[in-house]
Amino acid sequence: MLTIEKIKNDYSYIEAWSGNSETYHDSPIFEGYGNFCDLYLRAQNQHVKQEQVDKYNEFRESFKNYLPEIESYILSSLRNSEFHLKDIIKQKKLTLDIIEVPFDSFRYELVLICGKT
pTM flag (> 0.85) = yes
pLDDT of residue 110: 96
Whole-angstrom distance, CA of residue 79 vs CA of residue 37: 26
User: Tens place of pLDDT for every residue, the chain, 117 residues?
Assistant: 999 999 999 999 999 887 778 999 999 999 999 999 999 999 999 999 999 999 999 999 999 999 999 999 999 999 998 889 999 999 999 999 999 999 999 999 999 999 987
pLDDT of residue 48: 96
What Cα–Cα distance (Å) separates residue 106 from each residue in 28, 42, 110? 26, 14, 11
pLDDT of residue 71: 92
Tell me the longest C-alpha to C-alpha distance in the chain: 49
